[in-house]
Structure 1
Amino acid sequence: MAFTVVAFLCLVGARNMVNGPATPLAYRLSCALVLALLVMAIPRAGSIWTFGAIGVAYTLVLVAGLALNVSGVEQPLLWVLPAMVVIPICAAPLWLTPTHFFLGSALFYAAAFALLFGEPRTHEVDVVVWMWVVAIGLPTSAVFHFGFYRFRRNHFLLESQLAQLAATDPLTGLQNRRAFVKQAERRLETMAPDLQVSAIFLDIDSFKSLNDRFGHAVGDHALHQVARVLMDGTSADDSVSRIGGEEFAVLLCDGLAGALALAERLRGAIAAIERPDGQLTASFGVAEHRRGESIMVLLDRADEALLRAKHSGRNRVCAERALPLEALHMLFDAAHEEGDTAARRYRWEDYYLTSHFQPLYSLSHQKQVGFEALLRGEQDDGTLVPPVVLFAPRPSSDEGALDRASHAVHLANARKSLPCDAWLFLNILPATFIAEGYADRLATLVRTAGLEPEQVILEILESHGGSVDDMSRAAALYREHGFLIAVDDFGAGQSNLDRLLRIRPDLVKLDGELIRATSHGTEQPILPKLVSLLHQAGMLVVVEGVETTEELILAVESNVDFAQGYLLGRPAAEIAPPEPVQRRIDDAFDVIAQGRAHQYALFESEVEPYRVALRQAADGLLAGVVMGEAFASLATFDRCISCFILDDSGRQIGLEVPGPAWNSEGASLHPVANPRDARWDHRPYFRNAVLLPGVAVASNPYLSLASGRPCVAVTLAVQFASERSVVGVELDWSAVGLPWPAGD
């Protein structure tokens, strides 16, 4: 046909060489342009009838073009007759069916003869014309057409058969995976914007045992029966496929609710199929298409739901898990329909996810400043799901799926329950925390819930997953949105100072066991020193697990910033009034204020005899008494480890005078057991004595490098004739029950 266009253009050129009136060239070239457009439309023909219609139109336009071209010549028949013979012969192989051939030929000759009826001709000319048309043109074109038609028909039938075999599963007669995916891709590309499409993924339960125990023939029969159930249970518009093995897929034009209902009907129908050892069952996963995603992503989400159905007991239907933002909107919609009186719950597995909140109190302000959101599972009747079930590892699912869903649930409930000026503490797994793009998604989630990131503290859980470098980089991204960062359970698991200093959290939550931890031997709490260390590192401190009044008093005395625990409030769906807890914290402050003076008096009464004896020893030294005699009385006191004299640079002068608490062995600290090798002017007991010359000062308890025991030093700066010296006595303070300075 393309060559015919070229031949027509040649005929137009030849006509321009003949004298006489002619149809304007633009009209004849327009015919050539239309012919060329029809040729280009042929590859886009979607059906045989479209192809035939293009052929008929092409022939008629060609006839019209010939008529315009021969207009004005003296003998038009000489120009047209060759075309009337050659064109049907050349076009005959192009007609796809006999109907096209007969219709196109009849229209061609009718149009051609109509143009020639007005021209005068002799009898001899008519005979020649009909001889060429009837004897040569029509028979030759008929032979050409039916010869090529037979060849093309067999070829097309073979192609159709091969295409059908390539797209069909031979066992069940359903589409195979390749054909299913290809058809689904076309449907998703051309679907209307408001059209809903869902995928159902199903897998026959325990199919391998069916083959292994009863043979593949029984297994093949089961596959065939399942295929029949799927075909009978779906409409002609649905795509049904055997994806592979015992897996099937259905693509239907319906939303998630409709797809779940269909899947449940199919599950029931399959469960009615008998197998030699009982009834056949299948597990189903259902997912709804999201705008812009491919068929493979849709099938992957349906497959994830199918795996959950498998791992939660088989013979059931599981829906896809909504994204956090979608889950949040679902919770808001449910709350709008049911009212804001009840906690918002989100369906998960065979139960619901909901939130309980535990308050955190600022000890200095004596008020609630935040609430930690804790995930809970509820059955349909409201009974709680045991934590071992709720947080049990599931090898078939993404570890962070529950974590991300919890954020949507907590934010939906926080908007309803929490005071507007309180922090919300959200637990987050390290793997979720460092996930690419989650900082942006969580910020959107928070704002959708009506909160601001500045109101949310992300509490990084102590668990495996994520390097410290990755968490440090992620923390910077969250801070750009305004989130505060906390590290949970410091003092347990993998927590260490390096982790804190790299992540630089705003708050550190101390593991509850640290509030009960004590130093070896003296049983003194280590919490005060730990809080002081974290404060120096620029981090606020939260103590968890406060369960008794004594622990609350210790937290206040240790300068802890925030406290949390059963004594201050248990996790609950509803926020408890804070007034009773505020009074309890205030009482703790009163106890500390009353006990501080008493504690100080006990400590002072314990060290006062040593002060008196040390002043007497200093007076003897000033009077010229030798060191051993001067310290003789002091060295008899029970807690005395040794008496000593330090020069102005802090180095020991002479030998120390041992007391009853002296331990000469000190095997484990033997390399540093000799105090005469060291310089001690950096110690507080030396500096304080120099600052208050003539005053006997007692140090706070410290760990002695020489003895390895908690000690207290009583020291006195004395000015001898030649130089200033510090005389002192080191006391063993390791016995349980000895008073320590309050607040240390």
Structure 2
Amino acid sequence: MPITIGEVTGTSLISINMSATSTQHLPDPGVRDRFHRRSLEHQRPLSTVTMAFTVVAFLCMVGARNLVDGPAPPLAYRLCCALALGLLVLAIPSAKSSWVFGAIGVAYMQVLVAGLALNAAGLAQPLLWVLPALVVIPICAAPLWLTPTHFFVGSALFYATAFALLLGEPRAYDVDAVVWMWIAVIGIPTSVVFHFGFYRFRRNHFLLESQLAQLAATDSLTGLQNRRAFVKQAARRLDTIAPDARVSAIFLDLDNFKSLNDRFGHALGDHALHQVAQVLMDQTTADDSVSRIGGEEFAVLLLGGLTGALQLAERMRGAIEAIERPDGHLTASFGVAEHRHGESIMVLLDRADEALRRAKHSGRNRVCAERALQPFTGDDARAGSGAAQRHRWEDFYLISHFQPLYSLSHQKQVGFEALLRGEQDDGTLVPPVVMFAPKPSQDEGALDRASHAVHLGNACRSLPDDAWLFLNILPATFIADGYADQLATIVRASGLETDRVILEILESHGGSVDDMSRAAALYREHGFLIAVDDFGAGQSNLDRLLRIRPDLVKLDGELIRATTHGTEQPILPKLVSLLHQAGMLVVVEGVETTEELILAVESNVDFAQGYLLGRPAAEIAPPESVHRQIDDAFDVIAQGRAHQHALFESEVEPYRIALRLAADALLAGVVMDDAFATLATFERCISCFILDDSGRQIGYEVAGPAWSKEGASLHPVANPRDARWDHRPYFRNAVLLPGVVVTSNPYLSLASGRPCIAVTLAVQFAAERSVIGVELDWSELGLPWPAGE
């Protein structure tokens, strides 16, 4: 499946450009109606204030007219005009359509002209009173008309009525000239300019607002809805569906997608995501909502019941399976759930996600439906009722506090760690140093075993039905003979299932790794999951993990703040990637700041725990605010990733251009020194080189300015001509994309001992294919790294 980065990028740009230009004009009546409705929302406050001010001005005119001698119409008539104007102003907020709004404006203008005629009646010089109003009123009203039609109709009727009522008497020639000059030369042109200027401004603002809203709701790679837009639209649909309507959700995740990116490059992975999006669009209808939730996860909301959704998911699975990848075919796992009356979109997606996890665990490339809803019985209510359990221990009670753990991808509580606390008779807590103080006459595991009974009883009462319980256990208790059977019995007696309990092996000197590995197999036979606590501190090491093979690894909180030497880059992403490759899910503890939460999300951590997300407490707090915090962290990362990508691209682009010129020179027969002459002068250039088809260096490297910088030189392996480099990603990616300049992720160079980046290009010389490249010094602090790092 040959593909270039340019092709993938071009596809994305085409979809973005199409969406960006789709609203540049307003030929679609639907778009025009939305624009007018939006304008109505903006114009109501301005029109209300302006027209109310005109009523005040009219009342001032009425008062001034009463101070002038001469016959005048009754004051009551003029005040009735003011009252009619006021009532029209009060009607503006209730105008629901642009036509009603326009009709109010036309009526207002006619009443205003009538009021002017009444005030001017009986005056010796009526034009002195009304001519300024005939000029100013249309000009002030011009920006308030919503549409050109309203403007022309309203203005024409205003002037027609004005001429009929006010200007019908014969006048001298010079007076007529002045009147026409003010109205025809100043008033009418100015009002036309004002109306169409403001109309164009409002239209352009509406188009820009619509374009930004569309871009904000679209995944730029696939053209599908993004997660935020999908959830928002789905929530609206669920709120408005008929009571007897059926809606279902499909959640799918591409299988082994990470290996596609890691082995063949992100360009190929992006193309695969684009193909999957096309499959989903082809298989669904315009009434269905299709979204890329994030990464390689997609969601579909469709009308219909579970049976139809399962059939659609199976068709999608077959279509995706037909998509080729270099090492075979793409596959995806599907979870399907039907909406239940009254539940939110997030609950529906959670149930579909649970079915998706079962599809993954049962072998991938399959469709699984939600579990059947179990009927509620009175026994369920009795099991979940009652006060929290307390266990007498010496001169205080043992109680449970629960701290939530969140799935960052799903942005929800998935489990709770049970933490042991001591409570006095008056309700005050016992200090931990007192409660956990070692006592020579006491069995080390007695308190540990007592805590399990307390936690399990309280968990059944307090925890949501689908949440994990993280149960701390000392190594000595974990390997005790017969305790696996005993604990399984206690769990079932408390009303829980063993697959909801994760045994968290604490950091301790007790127990050998071999004993814990054998014990872990016994606990797994009962259905327990296993976690290792505080990896990265104390006795924990990789050997311990690889022997016990836990399902989850809880990283010590200090690892969030750990950075690499020299570059000050966080080590958490690499550590998480290593544990994922070993088949273990990752929990980060000690998340206390927003910056640490953002790093955890960016590092692809599965679950997070810490004071920022929830403190230990006897009662479980609502999670809504934490959901928003995690969602905001995703938004920050998305914005930062784009910014980081732009910075990195701007930094390496000159080297790409110079490498392309060097390749052209080499193909033209120019010698290496001259071909690389320009590139070798760039500041970060360590050396320029040519590798043959087997990855061995041809000739010598051309040194650049960064070659002479002081650094850790690893002398036995410092000569690159002694090695072959076809196993390096910068070589493999160049060969996979011939003719395309590719940039590697930062790596530690054997030659210099410094973080470096390679820019490479595969070219076909007369004799064979070669890879030319330049190695760049990337050890300086503050340099941008690729967004994926």
Aligned equivalent of 2:761: 716
Classify 1:627/1:668 alpha carbon distance in 2 versus 1 (closer, same or farther; 3 Å). closer
Give the C-alpha shift of residue 743 in structure 1: 2.5
Which sections of structure 1, spanning at least 5 residues, go unmatched?
1-335
Give the C-alpha shift of residue 399 in structure 1: 0.7
Give the C-alpha shift of residue 342 in structure 1: 4.7
Aligned equivalent of 2:779: 734
1:553 aligns with 2:573: no
Deviations 1:508-567 (A, max 9, x none): 111111122111111111111111111111111111111111211111121111111111
State how far apart, in whole Å, the 2-side matches of 1:695 and 1:476 are: 50
Give the SS at the match of 1:586. Answer: helix
Greater relative contact order (Cα 8 A, min sep 6): structure 1 or 2?
2
1:638 aligns with 2:683: yes
Match of residue 627, structure 1, among 664, 672, 675: 672
Match of residue 619, structure 2, among 547, 569, 574: 574
State how far apart, in whole Å, the 2-side matches of 1:702 and 1:507 are: 28
Deviations 1:53-76 (A, max 9, x none): xxxxxxxxxxxxxxxxxxxxxxxx
Aligned equivalent of 1:482: 527
Q: Is the 8 Å Cα contact of residues 354 and 376 (structure 1) preserved in structure 2?
A: yes
Give the C-alpha shift of residue 410 in structure 1: 0.8
Match of residue 564, structure 1, among 606, 609, 628: 609
Aligned equivalent of 2:573: 528
Q: Is the 8 Å Cα contact of residues 400 and 458 (structure 2) preserved in structure 1?
A: yes
Question: TM-score, with normalisation over the residues of structure 1?
Answer: 0.53
Q: How does 1:574-653 map to 2 (within 5 A)?
A: 574-653=619-698
Q: Is the 8 Å Cα contact of residues 712 and 754 (structure 2) preserved in structure 1?
A: no
1:414 aligns with 2:459: yes
Give the SS at the match of 1:711. Answer: strand
Give the C-alpha shift of residue 341 in structure 1: 6.2
Q: How does 1:79-94 map to 2 (within 5 A)?
A: none
Give the SS at the match of 2:567. Answer: coil
- The one-letter code of the counterpart of 1:653 is I
Give the SS at the match of 2:445. Answer: helix
Match of residue 369, structure 1, among 378, 395, 414: 414
State how far apart, in whole Å, the 1-side matches of 2:403 and 2:561 are: 21
Give the SS at the match of 2:439. Answer: coil
Give the C-alpha shift of residue 663 in structure 1: 3.9
State how far apart, in whole Å, the 1-side matches of 2:709 and 2:629 are: 49
1:382 aligns with 2:433: no
Match of residue 484, structure 2, among 439, 445, 448: 439
Deviations 1:588-642 (A, max 9, x none): 1122222222221111111000011111111222222221122121111111111
State how far apart, in whole Å, the 2-side matches of 1:421 and 1:545 are: 24
Give the C-alpha shift of residue 450 in structure 1: 1.3
Q: Is the 8 Å Cα contact of residues 666 and 673 (structure 1) preserved in structure 2?
A: no
Classify 1:608/1:664 alpha carbon distance in 2 versus 1 (closer, same or farther; 3 Å). closer
Which moves more between the two structures, 617-626 or 426-435?
617-626
Give the C-alpha shift of residue 579 in structure 1: 0.6
State how far apart, in whole Å, the 2-side matches of 1:601 and 1:666 are: 29
Give the SS at the match of 1:371. Answer: strand
Give the SS at the match of 1:380. Answer: coil
The percentage of aligned residue pairs carrying the same residue is 89
Q: Is the 8 Å Cα contact of residues 579 and 586 (structure 2) preserved in structure 1?
A: yes
State the 4+ residue runs in structure 1 displaced beyond 4 angstroms: 339-342, 664-668
State how far apart, in whole Å, the 2-side matches of 1:476 and 1:663 are: 56
Q: Is the 8 Å Cα contact of residues 487 and 505 (structure 1) preserved in structure 2?
A: yes
Q: Is the 8 Å Cα contact of residues 347 and 353 (structure 1) preserved in structure 2?
A: yes
State how far apart, in whole Å, the 2-side matches of 1:722 and 1:412 are: 76
Give the C-alpha shift of residue 726 in structure 1: 1.2
Q: Is the 8 Å Cα contact of residues 458 and 486 (structure 1) preserved in structure 2?
A: yes
Aligned equivalent of 1:454: 499
Q: Is the 8 Å Cα contact of residues 639 and 731 (structure 1) preserved in structure 2?
A: yes
Give the SS at the match of 1:662. Answer: helix
Aligned equivalent of 1:427: 472
State how far apart, in whole Å, the 1-side matches of 2:491 and 2:449 are: 12
Deviations 1:453-497 (A, max 9, x none): 111110000111111111111111111111111111111111111
Deviations 1:206-253 (A, max 9, x none): xxxxxxxxxxxxxxxxxxxxxxxxxxxxxxxxxxxxxxxxxxxxxxxx
1:681 aligns with 2:726: yes
Q: Is the 8 Å Cα contact of residues 510 and 542 (structure 1) preserved in structure 2?
A: yes
- The one-letter code of the counterpart of 1:398 is D
Larger radius of gyration: 1
State how far apart, in whole Å, the 1-side matches of 2:563 and 2:708 are: 24
1:544 aligns with 2:589: yes
Q: What is the RMSD of the two structures over their aligned residues, measured on CA atoms?
A: 1.8
- The one-letter code of the counterpart of 2:509 is H
Classify 1:488/1:685 alpha carbon distance in 2 versus 1 (closer, same or farther; 3 Å). same
Give the C-alpha shift of residue 340 in structure 1: 6.0
- The one-letter code of the counterpart of 2:596 is E
Q: Is the 8 Å Cα contact of residues 663 and 707 (structure 1) preserved in structure 2?
A: no
Q: Is the 8 Å Cα contact of residues 361 and 563 (structure 1) preserved in structure 2?
A: yes
Q: Is the 8 Å Cα contact of residues 618 and 727 (structure 1) preserved in structure 2?
A: yes
1:700 aligns with 2:750: no
Give the SS at the match of 2:670. Answer: coil
Q: Is the 8 Å Cα contact of residues 711 and 754 (structure 2) preserved in structure 1?
A: no
1:660 aligns with 2:701: no
Deviations 1:279-303 (A, max 9, x none): xxxxxxxxxxxxxxxxxxxxxxxxx
- The one-letter code of the counterpart of 2:524 is R
Q: How does 1:464-503 map to 2 (within 5 A)?
A: 464-503=509-548
Aligned equivalent of 2:352: none
Which sections of structure 2, spanning at least 5 residues, go unmatched?
1-380
State how far apart, in whole Å, the 2-side matches of 1:459 and 1:678 are: 46
- The one-letter code of the counterpart of 1:585 is I
1:355 aligns with 2:386: no
Give the C-alpha shift of residue 501 in structure 1: 1.4
Aligned equivalent of 2:439: 394
Aligned equivalent of 1:346: 391
